[in-house]
Structure formats: structure tokens, C-alpha cells
Structure 1
Amino acid sequence: MPSPSPASPSGALHGRDAEQDALLRLLDAARDGSGGSAILRGARGTGKSALLDVAADRASGDGDRDGFVVLRVRGTEAEARLPYAGLHGLLRPIADRLPKLPASQAEELARALELGAATDGLVLPAAVLNLLTATGGPVLACVDDVQHLDAPSREALFFAARRLAGEPVVLLFGADDDVTVPGDIPVFELGALDAGAAGRVVDDLVPGLPEDVRASLLRTARGNPLALGELARSLGPDQISGAAAPPETLPRNGRLWRAYADRLARLPAGTADVLLLLAADPDLETATLAAAAGPECALTALEPAECAGVVVRVPGPAGDRYDFREPAMRAVVYAHASPARRRAAHRLLADVLGRDDQRLRRAWHRAAALDGPAGPLADELAAAATAAGSQGGHPPPFLAFERAAELTAHGDVRAARLAAAARRAWHAGLPGRARSLLTRLNSLTISDEVRGQAELIRGNLELRGGKTGSAGDDFMAVAESLADRDREQAVRVLIRAGEASYLAGDNTRYLDIARRAEAMRRPDDPAAVQLMFEYLAGTAATFCGRHRAAAAPLRRVLELAPLARTPSVLVWAGVASMLLGDDVRAVRLCNRAVETARARGALSTVPQVLDFMIQAEIWTGRHASITANAVEGLRLAQECGRPNSAGQHLGWLALTAAVEGDEETCAIRAAGAIELAGAHGLGATEALGNWALAHADLAAGRYADAAKRLRATTPRGQGTRGHLVMQVLSTPQFVEAAVRTGDREEARQALRVLDRWAGSTRSPDRLAVVTRCHALLAAPGDAEERYRAALELHRQGFSEFETARTQLLFGSALRRNRRPGAAREHLHSALETFERSGARRWAEQARAELRGAGEAVRTHRPGGVEKLTVQQYQIARIVADGATNREVAALLYLSPRTVEHHLRNIFAKLDIRSRVELVRLMS
């Protein structure tokens, strides 16, 4: 008979909040005498059984309430043709209640359960319904894999499910996503988990997993909870530590793999042959498929797979194509074909891929088919991969180089191709795969050139995912080994070493690196090498405070940059523009760097480019853009396994939360950034996280806390340690906090560094902020003139937010000088900007100053909502518009659990109990 569903621990079920809430509401209604039914439909492994387990667990009762009678059955293919086998498995535990039914119903249901026979009509379905209600208490009936239940049982249960209103019964079904279900029973479609929920599943199963391994599991599982669990449990010790590449396909002995294999085994042999062609080339167009298999044969053979939900038509710019509905099934199709069938499929595809833009794909299929001697095939594949650059599509260049290395007999050439594969894997955002490829080099005798390439890749891996100090050491060693053989590459590596020093906050080492580079210069250096020398010279001079000396080399970088179009050169030009005070140009150059990186398939470099772009945007006060760029940078950094970049973007998001006045979110994000900083030696990230916290302190009027935090994390004054760039960026906040606490001399000393830099640029935004700082330090008689000068500079700049900050300080000073009329003009402008940008705390300060200037100010938010933080207000508005917790989480880049936490606080602050009340209040 159909087997009962196995019990599973009812631990945290991530990403299914809405479904769990709905099931619990059904149970609560059944306790009150009016139950209902629902169908949970989704692909294999999406959590249908887990949700049924949750319902059964909650229905079992607790100390305060009596439990339900819980009935469970799972349909099985072996008994799908046995009439009433499903009812027998589900109702057998309560068959002793049959005498409570009318005699005709009891007799009919007994015949069905004992003999598998029943007459047509309503007697049997009515008997099933009446038996479920005859237990004397609430009942939960769970039917899993309903698609495998015998048809008579299924129809009788659907009949009962439609008639549960007013009955203390809940009837739940679990069904695969390709199953047709009645339209009059509520259906919950279970899709893939969102990234946040999938990540929490992995974190529960394998806490502390390296970020790149975690990201790889998420990519492979594609949001399927069962796939996540099976992949996590399949990890070996080397994979958990990150020393070996994580799995890229499902475990072959897992439930999901077996389920896919069973499903495929039922398809005709001709269909399996065409599916193998699709599995062998993920980019296969329908025209190419038809050419390989024959137009009528291909499309006719795919019909059974399409009807079974194995493949779907996917629209594309070059016309429709076929793809697997569940991507993990591709590996199952390929693995279950014999080697001979695979080679035949690759040979067919190689024969029909003849265009120039298909060169790499053709070489890949020829190599897979072993269509000739191994050496020439390897040479053809490596040449095609080199010509393809970093283009997307199949095969990825790193995989092509890896396969070429496997076919290569000569040790030096094999090693060079493995190194090329590792470099391409790194650029593709696959650090685990890169490390695995580098490990294979250890067993080979390699040349100095290949060893240098490998060490450079290891340095990059350490720079983005390890300790910045170790990365700096690796780069310095590589640069020294390259100095006599490849000066251009050596200087490029020195710039990487400088970046490691910058991230670590080691200004002394950065200056030493610049001096080493300067000693390598030659008058006849080509333009590309000159640019790198000028970049190091200009940034080092800036970090020494020699801004006038820095100007010439930085301008030279901008002159030479148009000669190159690589993301690195565009970023260097962007940094040069920022240091010269041209933030608009810096943002434009960084934007081009992002576009170039994407076009080249180097998505893993985008988070670093966005970090530099954000630094330019800080001065223009574009906080909405900063948030968007930091969210994208964080997402890509996590997907590509780059925790050091993730820490930076968490810090920027903490800063924008502080600007908005959302202290809770600021604290959470800053703590995450600071934790990553401590683990990876990121002085820049630690300083950024603390700057965000100090900004929140300043906005809330905790001036002593803000000054203390900034003083400790970015020490002030010449000759002290600390992160210089973050020190300069945070100087305006430190000056204001120090003045408020009476430390005016310390504020003056801190301002000198920013003053010299801003004075060397023509940036009105920087000059305006510096002039405002001088106004704060000026005697009362001189302050007004300086504030007016600052506002005039603001009018020439781009930062509305900093303009409003100056207006708030100026208005406050005017009010204290007993000029309330003049103060109100500036305070009103500041308040308007703060409200428009969502800077809640600063808006509160402006309102308080206006009240002090004799004007009553009312909030523009509905009654009581002014108690909410900015993020709570955003969540309240979105929820009031009808969004679910998951939809809110996706919009605001939060987890559904965090949204739920915020909603509880929102309800408490507003003294309401339901979403209905929230809608009424917000409207």
C-alpha cells in the first residue's frame, strides 16, 4: 500500500513563510470548526513534504491545546493502478469509526478498503468525507505525491476537499509541478528559494562555509532545497575548507538525481538521443539541433519530453530554443549516456557548427568526441579559447583550457594551459575552481614563467578572499621575479600589491611600493607602462599629503588612459579623477569600467569597480545611487566568492542606513563589515564600518560617541596609523563632533589634512564642506561669512545632501544668535531635502531647530508613523500596498526573517495588531 511520509525534523524551514502562515491559519480555522484544503505544488525537492511535516507537527498539539488526529499517506507508482489503495493507506487508522456512518456509506467504504471495489456515484466520496468528520475532534489529512495516488482515491479525496467549510478537517495535498490539479482547490506554487533563504539553508547545514564554496553550492542548486541539502552533505573536508573545487552536479546517489533518472528512463529511446544533444551543448539553437538530428526527427522526438515537463521552449533573440526545465537534469542526461553515445553526439554537433563565431564550440565538441589525435585537438581548442577571450556561453574559456591541458602530453605546455584555465576561472568568479586547477600544477615540473603566473593568481585569490597582508607579500615576490623578464607585468603586480596595502590600511608599505616602482622607470617606456608608473606616483604623493606634486602624474594618467580600454586602466583613471576632485568624471569612467568588465565576462571585477565608484559618489551625496551600487556589489561579491569586497559593500550599506537614520540596520551591516575586516585584515573596511556607526551617532546627537569612535578607528594627525582615505572622508563628521564636545584644537588639526587636499582640487563639493568645517571652528563674528561662502560653493556643486547639512548648521547658528527669521529660511530648505531623501534623523534635527526658531512643524507622515525608522517606514508602506514578506525582502535586499522582525516592531510602535490595521493607518 502507499507508504506513510517519513517524518523529518521540523527545524527552520527557510523561504516558505507565506506557505507556513497559510497552513497554520487553516489549522486554527479547523480547531474553530471550519477547516479547508490546499494543494502544495512544486518541482521535486522544493519543500512540499517538509511543509506537510510542519503542518503535521503543529497539528500534533502542545501543552495548551489538544492535538489533531493526523492521517498521512504518500502515493507510490507501484500501487497507482490498485483502486482505493490510497484511501486504504490514509483511512486505515480510523477505520474503526465506520459504524458511525450511515449503513450504506459504511458498507460501500468497507468494500473499497477491503476489496478495492465500489459502485459509481456519491456514496463512496460522501462516506470518505463523513468518516473524516466522525473522529470527534479536528483532523489533518496529508496526501503526498498525489500524482502517484490511484485515480479513484484521488477523486474521492478531491471531492471531500471541496466540502470542508464548516467541518473541523484540513486536507493537504503535495503534487509535482507538472501535475494538473482541480481549479477549485487553493494551490500554493512552490518555486525556487530566493538567494537569502537558500543561503540560510546552507548556513544551517554547514556553518562557516567559505564564501566561494557557499556561492558555488547556491549556483548549482538554483534554489532547490533538496539539492542544497544533498550538495552540502556531499562535501568532503577539502571542499569544505576551500582547498578543492566544490561539486558542480548533484550527488549521483541522491534522491533528486534518482528521481530525475527515473523520470528520464520513461521516455522513448529516440527522445533520449535528442536530449543528449541538448545536454552536450547548453547553447544549442533549434536550427542547429535540427541540423544535427534531422528536422522532423528532432522536433518529433522532443514532444514526449515536452509533454512530460522535461524540456521547455525558451524564446531568444535568434529564435526559440529548447532547454531543460530543471537545469540539474542536464548532468543526469549526460551521465547516463554511454561514452560511445556521448562521443557520437559531440561528433554530430561538431559537424554542424561551422560559422566563425562557433569556432570554440566546434573545437570543444571535436575534443570531446576525440575526433582525431589528441595533440592537434588540444592545440585547436587552446587556440580557439585564446581567440574567444572572456566571452560568455558554452564552453566557458577556463573549461576549454582545462580540457586542452588534459589532452596535452608536453609538460610545459600542459602546465601553461592549466595556469590559463585557473586565470580564466578566477576572472569568471570561480575562486574554488581556480584553486583546484592551481593545485594540479603542484604535480608538474613548471617553468619560471608559469610559476610566476600561478603565484599571481594565488595573490589575487588572497587579495579578494584571504588576508590582505599575505596577498601583499605574494605580489611583492611575484613582482621581484618578473622585474627582469616582464617589466610591464611587474609594475602591474606592484599596483596590486599597493591595493593590498590600501585595503589593509598600511600607508607606509604603499609608499615603499611606489618608491620601488619609481626605481624601475625608463625614459623609453611604452604608454601603457608610463600610465602605471604615473598612477603609483600620483597616488603615493596624495597619501603623503603632497597634493600639488600629485596633480601632474594624476593628470598624465588621464591623458594616457584613452589609449587603453581595459577595466583596470579605466579604474585607475577614475581614481585619478577622484583625487583631482572631478567626481563626475570619476563616476563616468568607473561606469565604463563596469560595462567593459561585463562585456568581457569578467563579472568578478565589478564589485571592486563599484567600490571606487561609490567613493566618488560620496562627495556628490548620491546616496540612492550608492545604495543601489553597494547592493549590486555585495550580491556579485558573494556570488563570486569575494568576501573582502563584500565587506566593503556592507560598510557602504551601513553608511547609507546611517544617513537615512535607520540605526538598527546600520548596526547590523556595520557589525558584519567589521567582522569581515577582522578576519581578513581589512583596515579600510573596519574604518568604513566605524565611520557608518559614527555617522549614526552624529545624526542622533551623540557627539561624544561619534568623536570617540572616529578618533579610535582613524587616528588624527600626521605620523599616526590609521586608514588615511577613510580618515579624510570622515573628517567633516569628526570636526562637527569634536566642536560639539569642545575639542576645537583637535578638530583644527584633523581639518588640516582635508583642507590641503580639497584646496589642491577645484571641486566645489569638497571646498564647500571644508568651508563649512571652518565655519564651525570660526568665532561667531566670522562664522556667518564662512557659512555663506560654503553655500555659494554648494550651488556650484552636486551634493544636495551636504548642502542641506550646511543649511542645518547655518540655521542653527543663526537661531542661537537670535536671528530666527533668517534661520528659518535655511532650516526649511534643509528639512525639505532631508525629507525628500529619507534622512529621518537629520529631518528631526531640522524640525527641532525650526521649533526653536518659533515655528510649529508637523510631520508629513500619517499619525504615529513618525516613530518608525526609515526602513520600518519603507516596509510599512510596501506591506500596506499588499506585498508579502518575501516580496518586501526582495525589494529591500533583506531576508524574510528580518522583514518579519521589523513588522513586529512596527506593530508594537504603532499599537496595532494586523496588516489590515496597518493598511488603514497608512492610507
Structure 2
Amino acid sequence: MGQVGFEAVSAMALYGRDAECDAIDRLLAGVQAGASASLVLTGEAGVGKSALLAHAVRAAAGRMRVLHAEGIRAEGDLPFAALTQLLGSVPLGSAELSAPQHEALRAALALGEAPAAGLDRLATGLGVMNLLSAVAGERPVLVVVDDAQWVDAASRDALVFAARRLQRDSVGFLFAYRDDDDRTRPPDLPRLPLSGLDVAAAARLLADRGIRMRRAEAERLVELVQGNPLAMTDLTAEDVRRLTRPDRGPEPPPIGSVLEGAYRERIDRLPPGTRRALLVAALLKEDDGQVLHAALARDGLALAALGPAEDARLVTLSSGTAEFRHPLIRSAVAQLARASDRRAAHRVIAAALAEEPGLTAREQRAWHLAAASYGPAEDIAAALEECAQRAVGISGYASAAAAYERAAQLSVQRDKQATRLLGAASAAFHAGQTARAATLLDRIRTFPPGQEDVRCEAEALRGRLQSRRGDPLSAYTGLMAEAHRLREQRPDLALMLSANATSAAVFAGRGGDALASARQAAELGGTIGGPYALYSRCMLGGVLALLGEPGGERLLDEAFALLPLDDLPPRILPLMGDIAFAYVLFERFEEAQRIHRLLARAATRRAAAGLMIWPVGEQALVDYRLGRWQAAYAGALEAERLALDCGLDNETANNRQLLGWITASRGRAAECRRYVDQVLEQAASSGARVFDLLACCVLGHLEMGLGHAEQAAEVLERAREMAAAFRFGNLTHYQWAPELAEAYARRGRGSDAQPIVDLLAAAGERSGKPLVLALSQRCRGLLSDDFEEHFRLALELHERAERPFETARTQLCFGERLRRRRKRSQAREQLQAAWRTFSTLEADCWTERARAELEATGVKVSPRAVTGADLLTPQEVQVALQVAAGASNREAAERLFISVKTVEYHLSHVYRKLGIASRAGLGVALAHD
């Protein structure tokens, strides 16, 4: 909404809004002081959201640069329409954007073409973030978005991403959303809900309009319109008297009918030409004055035809265009018009847009032609398909889904209709509109056989959709059935389906099925060759590792050695995270980190926030296992945030289970249980049974750290049952076995522990992995009377395993047993080593246990001194690690998807907390982690 619009609604009353104005004023003050902040105003139509935005604009005038946009229902399917409104006056040269961000913004604002490989979904958000940060370097910025529920999804995602990420950049965000549309409102931004005015405020509003009322009448009116200030502003004195009569009956009409009735009467009283002109204006953007004039001229009208509408207080005529006094009036005009009249208005607008240059005008014309059409029209369908393809290229998936679907409806040929429906379903899936995608895929199934590529892609997408919606087992079944059907004639398509089926089976907890589909994919890969074939062999190696079966490591190494890492196809890059995870399963951390570095470079180069989830999240897992817990916690939090930004629910849960492990190891019980609850919630909603298993392992680990062996045994027994049912036999990733064996040993249940010890020993002999062998020896040491040899052998194996936390746990167990045998001197050696490691890792519950054991040997242990590094926030850790590794401030910002100012802000805090003067001392200061 433009400045004129805010002034038009400002008189709509800031009666009774002192608290809300104070909240906005505090936000503005903080932004002027250098902070960044956001606030989401919510409430029903007409409750005063626009008036509060007008207050903010007036308060910011002269002190801040105000950028504003308004969501328009008719433009909800045009990608980045709102962003174009918002940034139309901001030159891209205002910021030193990276090439991908500059390219993304140019494409989003229709200033250039999207790259052939497309854009990452959040690349535009990164560009918006850095552009706003740069503009705020000259003067603080206030971003104001009214009717945000109607803003196109691509613009909304970009703006919300920027609002989440900007921290110390002097940028404020105010969004206004209607209460009745929770689907589009960001749940994690601060919210200020608005209710109706109370009787005293309503009486003041009406009195200022010359309407005097008794207290009882005011109460009746407030009850009738629920204190809605727009309703009270738009009702005439006669309306008020009629509505507050005591004989009206007990049931008040809904507020919508009150407003609709007020507008309908005014619209119906207008001359026919004014009604036609008003409808054309309602279907156009308010700043499209030139198109409005041209469209009216084609209908034999001029702007003057809107004069009676201005007299009726529906619009304001200014600067050669018409602006609606409130967005609700625009909606009422369009909704109250007859369908034939709307089509006629769309036709004259489309004719006017034919004379306008540029890509945006061409896209708008296609949509208006579609709205005017009565039946199939291939030329219009082709134009909409072009709009959809561009929207996909700039990651405007919700807009692309709408364009593809409407193009399919207008298609004349069945094959083109099927292809366009698939495009719509794919775009809807990427936009998070899973129900819509499922409906579109069902329509494709009704088509006769043929078009194998379309049918195959549709079934692959259906499988991913079913996995996301909570039925990965059905996804597996459907994908494998289609793969078998295509195995002979299209092995390339069958390979893709089999690979997707493998992921579905893993999530569903069907290890045997995952192995079957992975083997089929690898067999098919042997007949077609290429990077996907090599990936399928790597995937099979990973599945074998997950199941604890032999042969996987050799298969993985052989296939990975042949992958062209310097020239990977873009579509295979995200799959590299699976290969890195397979190496983690084999405890091959250096190879995993090599892949993480490759992915991180690619994600930075392409400004691909979605691609960065895997190198950040999986590197956090590596850091956790290598004992770099400060970096692991910071990385897992960052990966969780990236997954939330991208709408990847399972990846969000995956990073939360890692956060659960870290917080469990540190004894932070409340935080750990919160993460576990979130993981279990995702498992229930998505059918991802693997998360149930992981959650039980985390809870068992937490209880062991807290010294609750009985409670640990109960939950770990459930983990053992699930692992057996799923055939997930990897005992170092699903680490229930050593935990349960120790829990049994501590409860004197040696006979229950012995089969688990034998299982660990067999797994260790089969894999030859030092960690598994070390854990089996630790457990034997817990059960055996002749325990020393077992523990010493375990510690020798630990030296080769690179798992300091597990080494310290073995030292703790060894020291406990030595102390109970009265070998105090030897016990102290083991316990002191364990205490030092636990203390360095900040594993507080384990540190306390080691301290208690040491004191029982007669040794007093001083608490570990708190260092500056302990006081760093997770994001300060992320920034410090990047800079310590040699990154410049700009490079660190690009890798962490934050602004340079935020990096500078965090660095200043890091230097102060660590007591150093510059980046030169970071490496040493962080060395303890």
C-alpha cells in the first residue's frame, strides 16, 4: 500500500490503541539504535491493522527509509509481485551482492532471466537480506507489508527469511495478517494480535463522526460489530440507529455481512459506468495508472467515471489513478460483481496490457486472459505455461503451481494437459502444498497409459509426497511397483524410482525393504552407467552400513573413487549428503568432511541455503563424535534453522535429534526432552519410524548420564525392539546396545547384559571397527570379575577410534571398578582423565559423576574455570570458527547466510569475551573446543 493509502486509513482510528502504538514505537526505537526486529499484526478485516501501520509510517517519517508493499488477492499467483512493489525504488547497485544473489534478485524483479539451472529457493531471500542491510547503512529501514496473507508466496518467503536473519542491521519489519489465514503467517516471528475496540473507545470514535449514543446503545453496537472500527466508520448514522434498535432480535449478524451490506448499498447506487470502472480498478494494482486509463478507454470510459465512487467514500482519485480507501472495499467490489462482468473487466485489462512492454505485463496479461476465458484455449495455456516455467526458474513454486494448473485446465491436447498437471504437482510439492499436489497427481492417474516419463515422475513425486505426509510404507510399495513395471524398457527411470523407494523404506523403518530397493537400483545402474549409477552403488553401501551388514564399505569406496567430484551434475549435488552420511556410519570422518567442504563451497557459490543444510548438519554430527561439542551444537542449531527456512520437516527433525544427543550428553534434561518431543511429533505425523528409534536412543543416553539406570533400561529396551524389527544393526549410530548393557550391569542384571555384549563383539569382529570393539570390551569389563584386561584393551582400541567422549566413559567405568577394588591410585589416573575430558566437553552430568568418584578416592577437584569461549552464543561460535579458518567477514556472512554487519557485531562480542584484540588470536582461544 502506498503512502496515500496509509494516510487514507489513518483516520480510521487509533482509538484505544495506546499499548499497540507503544509496541510499534519500541520497535522503531530499537531499529534506530542499530537492532533489527519484526512484528506481525494480526486481526480480522477492518480491526485497525492498516491504521497502526500508518502510525508506524508517520512515526518513521524523516528518520527512517520506509519501504512498503500491499498484498493484492489478484496478484497472489504472480511470483515476487509484492517484492517488486517493495524494492522498486531501490537500485540493486546499493549493495555489494554476490553474483548468485544479484542474479536471483534481477530475475525475481523481472530485470533479467533466471539461470538455466534455476535458483535456490532462498537465494532471493539472501539477496533481499543483504540489499536491505546495505540500504540501512545509510539510514535505518522500515519494511511495511499490509495484507500479507495475500502476498505471493515467493515474496513472503524472501521477506520472512530476511526478517529472521537480520539481527544488527537497523532494519525493522511490520507485517499485517488477517486472523483467518494462519497458513501463510510465519509462526516464529513476534506477534501482536488486535481485538475490537472497547465501548469507551468506540463511543469516542462515533462521537468524532457526529454520532452521539447512549451507553446501552454503544454496548449494543460494539457487541454487534465486535468492536470493529472499520464497521463503525463505514456505518451511517441511520445504519447505527437501525442496528441498535432494541427490537432487532437476539442474534447479531456476522461482521462480514455488516460490512458487505454497507458496501453493497453504496456500490448498487453507483451509475453503471462507474460500477464497470470500479471493477476494472479492483482487478488492477493501484499503481497501474497507465493500464487503468487504457483499460477504461477500451470500455469507452475515463477516470472521471470513478467520481461517484469517490463521492461514496469507496476510492480516492489521486495522481492519475484510483486508490481504494481500504483493501476490504477492493475485495467487496470484486466479490459482489457478476461473473460475466468480471470476465468482461479481465478482457479489457488484458487488451490494455497488450500495449505494455516487459515480462511482468506479459505475465499479468496471461492471467487476465485466463480469467476471461470460458473454455480451453491453447494459446492462453501456452502463455501460462511460460509464466509457470519462469516462476520455477526463480523458485516461485506456489505461483508456478497455480499457473501450471490453470494452463492444464485450458489445454486442448491430453498429453500437454498431463505434462502441465505434473508441473503443477511438482511446484505445489516444492511450495509445501502437499494436499494440492496429491489431488493433482490423482488426476494424472486418470489419464490413459503412455507418456512414461510423465507417469514415472508423477509416481516418484507421489512417493516423496506420501513420505512427507506420513505414509512412507505406501510410498515404498508404489515406487517399487512402478520400478518393476519400467525395469526392462526404461532402466534409467526404474533406477530413480528404486532410489526414492530406498529413502522411503529407511524412514519407514523397513531395513529389509531398503536393502532390496537399493540392490535393485545398483543393479540397474550397472546397465546404464554415469554418476547416478555410481551414486546408487554408494547408496547401497550406506544401506549396508545402516543394517550392519558386511561389504558396504568396499562398495562405497570403489564407487566414490569414480565420481567426478569436480564436475558433478547439479541434480546430484544434494545426494552427496547421503554419501557423506554413509562415511559417518563407517566412522570415516575425514572422507565425510571432504564431502561436506565440497557441498559447502557449492552452496556458498550458488547462494543455496537449502543445499547448505547437509554440510552444516552432518558436519555437526561429525563434530559431536570427534568431541568438538561447542561447534556441533552451533552447527546443529544452524542446520535446524536452515531446514525450517526451507520447510524440510524431516531434516528439521533430524537436526533436532542431534541436538537431543548433544544436550543429553551435557545433562541438559529439559532441553533434551523438548527436542525429543519435537522429534516424536514429527515421527507421528510423517510415519518416519526411524525417528522413534533415534528418540529412544537419545532418552536412554540422557537417563544414563543422569544416573537413572533403571529408567534408561526401560526406554533402551524399546530401542532394541525397534532396531531388531527395522533390521537397523549399526550399533554405533543407533547406540542402544552399549547403553543398555551398561544399564543392566549397573542394576546387577549380568545375565541380561551378556547377550548384548556378545552382539557387540560379533559386530566388532565383523566390521573390524575399533569403536565397536572398544565398546564390547568396555561392556565385558563391566561384567567380568577379571575386568582390568578388558578395560585396558578397550582403551587401546579407543586410541584408534577418535571418539573422546566414549573414551572418557570407558575411563570412568574403569576407574569406578578400580576404586571399588580399593586400587585408589590406579582409579585416580583413570578418573582424572575422564574428568578432564568431560569437563572440557562441558558434559556436566558426567563431570559430576567423575568428580564424585574422584573425591571418594580422596582427591578434591576444583570446578573448571569458566572461559570466554564458554560464554559464546551458538552463532558467535559459528562466526568465530569461520573467521578462525581464514574466512573474511564477507565470506563468513555468505557461508552462514547472515549479513556482514551481523558478522561484525558477533565478532566484536567474540573478541571481548575471549579477551583478544583481533582475529589473529581466535585459533588459540578456541583450541579447547
Counterparts in 2 of 1:618 and 1:493: CA distance versus 1, 3 Å: farther
Q: Choose the corresponding residue for 2:358, options 354, 374, 379.
A: 354
1:586 aligns with 2:595: no
The residue aligned with 2:693 is: 687
1:419 aligns with 2:419: no
Counterparts in 2 of 1:386 and 1:464: CA distance versus 1, 3 Å: same
Q: Choose the corresponding residue for 1:468, options 457, 472, 476.
A: 472
The residue aligned with 2:413 is: 410
Within 5 Å, give how 1:393-404 maps onto structure 2.
393=396, 396-404=399-407
Within 5 Å, give how 1:395-544 maps onto structure 2.
396-441=399-444, 444-445=447-448, 447=450, 449=452, 450-522=454-526, 525-543=528-546
C-alpha displacement of 1:781: 3.5
The residue aligned with 2:764 is: 755
* Equivalent pair of 2:777/2:791 in contact (CA under 8 Å): no
C-alpha displacement of 1:498: 1.4
C-alpha displacement of 1:514: 3.4
C-alpha displacement of 1:691: 0.8
* Equivalent pair of 2:710/2:747 in contact (CA under 8 Å): yes
Deviations 1:570-622 (A, max 9, x none): 23332343344344653674687699799999999998998766655553454
**Structure 2 residue runs without a partner (length 5+):** 1-19, 24-47, 53-175, 180-191, 234-253, 297-305, 317-321, 867-872, 875-929
Counterparts in 2 of 1:522 and 1:660: CA distance versus 1, 3 Å: closer
Aligned length: 626
* Equivalent pair of 2:350/2:366 in contact (CA under 8 Å): no
C-alpha displacement of 1:382: 2.5
Distance in 2, matches of 1:326 and 1:635, equals 34
Q: Choose the corresponding residue for 1:81, options 195, 206, 209.
A: 209
C-alpha displacement of 1:458: 2.2
Deviations 1:809-842 (A, max 9, x none): 455456553026535642542353243xxx4422
* Equivalent pair of 1:630/1:653 in contact (CA under 8 Å): no
Counterparts in 2 of 1:833 and 1:397: CA distance versus 1, 3 Å: same
Distance in 2, matches of 1:359 and 1:526, equals 43
**Structure 1 residue runs without a partner (length 5+):** 1-15, 20-38, 53-70, 94-141, 151-250, 280-285, 312-321, 863-869, 872-923
1:713 aligns with 2:719: yes
Counterparts in 2 of 1:673 and 1:831: CA distance versus 1, 3 Å: closer
Counterparts in 2 of 1:331 and 1:732: CA distance versus 1, 3 Å: farther
Counterparts in 2 of 1:386 and 1:590: CA distance versus 1, 3 Å: farther
C-alpha displacement of 1:455: 2.9
The residue aligned with 1:829 is: 836
* Equivalent pair of 2:637/2:655 in contact (CA under 8 Å): no
1:723 aligns with 2:728: yes
* Equivalent pair of 1:655/1:689 in contact (CA under 8 Å): no
C-alpha displacement of 1:846: 3.0
* 3-state SS of 2:734 partner: helix
The residue aligned with 1:700 is: 706
Distance in 1, matches of 2:489 and 2:666, equals 53
C-alpha displacement of 1:81: 2.5
Within 5 Å, give how 1:150-299 maps onto structure 2.
276-278=283-285
* Equivalent pair of 1:366/1:377 in contact (CA under 8 Å): yes
* Equivalent pair of 1:578/1:586 in contact (CA under 8 Å): yes
C-alpha displacement of 1:520: 3.4
TM-score (norm: length of structure 2): 0.54
Distance in 2, matches of 1:757 and 1:653, equals 31
Distance in 2, matches of 1:272 and 1:594, equals 51
Distance in 2, matches of 1:858 and 1:259, equals 76
* 3-state SS of 1:447 partner: coil
Distance in 2, matches of 1:278 and 1:767, equals 69
**2:195 maps to amino acid:** S
Counterparts in 2 of 1:756 and 1:693: CA distance versus 1, 3 Å: same
* Equivalent pair of 1:390/1:424 in contact (CA under 8 Å): no
C-alpha displacement of 1:658: 2.5
Distance in 2, matches of 1:753 and 1:606, equals 37
The residue aligned with 2:740 is: 734
Q: Choose the corresponding residue for 1:377, options 375, 380, 383.
A: 380
Within 5 Å, give how 1:729-808 maps onto structure 2.
729-730=734-735, 731-741=737-747, 743=750, 745-752=754-761, 755=764, 759=768, 779-782=786-789, 785-786=792-793, 789=796, 792-793=799-800, 797=802, 801-802=805-806, 805=809, 808=812
Distance in 1, matches of 2:259 and 2:639, equals 36
C-alpha displacement of 1:728: 4.2
**1:479 maps to amino acid:** A
* 3-state SS of 1:729 partner: coil
Counterparts in 2 of 1:619 and 1:394: CA distance versus 1, 3 Å: closer
**2:665 maps to amino acid:** V
1:659 aligns with 2:665: yes
Structure 1 stretch displaced more, 43-52 or 481-490: 43-52
Distance in 1, matches of 2:265 and 2:797, equals 73
**1:724 maps to amino acid:** G
* Equivalent pair of 2:505/2:514 in contact (CA under 8 Å): yes
* 3-state SS of 1:512 partner: helix
Higher RCO (Cα < 8 Å, 6 or more apart): 2
Within 5 Å, give how 1:533-572 maps onto structure 2.
533-543=536-546, 545-548=548-551, 550-557=553-560, 559-560=562-563, 562=565, 563-566=568-571, 567-572=573-578
Counterparts in 2 of 1:346 and 1:439: CA distance versus 1, 3 Å: farther
Distance in 1, matches of 2:516 and 2:354, equals 54
Deviations 1:129-157 (A, max 9, x none): xxxxxxxxxxxxx995678889xxxxxxx
**2:459 maps to amino acid:** E
* 3-state SS of 1:724 partner: coil
* 3-state SS of 1:495 partner: helix
C-alpha displacement of 1:491: 0.8
* Equivalent pair of 1:814/1:822 in contact (CA under 8 Å): no
* Equivalent pair of 1:478/1:490 in contact (CA under 8 Å): yes
Counterparts in 2 of 1:72 and 1:857: CA distance versus 1, 3 Å: farther
* Equivalent pair of 2:197/2:229 in contact (CA under 8 Å): no
Counterparts in 2 of 1:606 and 1:405: CA distance versus 1, 3 Å: farther
Deviations 1:304-330 (A, max 9, x none): 99xx9999xxxxxxxxxx999999999
C-alpha displacement of 1:694: 0.5
**Superposition RMSD on alpha carbons, in Å?**
5.8
C-alpha displacement of 1:465: 1.4
**2:437 maps to amino acid:** A
C-alpha displacement of 1:49: 3.3
C-alpha displacement of 1:475: 0.9
C-alpha displacement of 1:469: 1.7
Distance in 2, matches of 1:803 and 1:323, equals 71
* Equivalent pair of 1:342/1:369 in contact (CA under 8 Å): yes
**1:354 maps to amino acid:** G
- Identity, % of aligned positions: 25
The residue aligned with 1:246 is: none
C-alpha displacement of 1:485: 3.5
Distance in 1, matches of 2:523 and 2:846, equals 50
* Equivalent pair of 1:611/1:630 in contact (CA under 8 Å): yes
* 3-state SS of 2:563 partner: helix
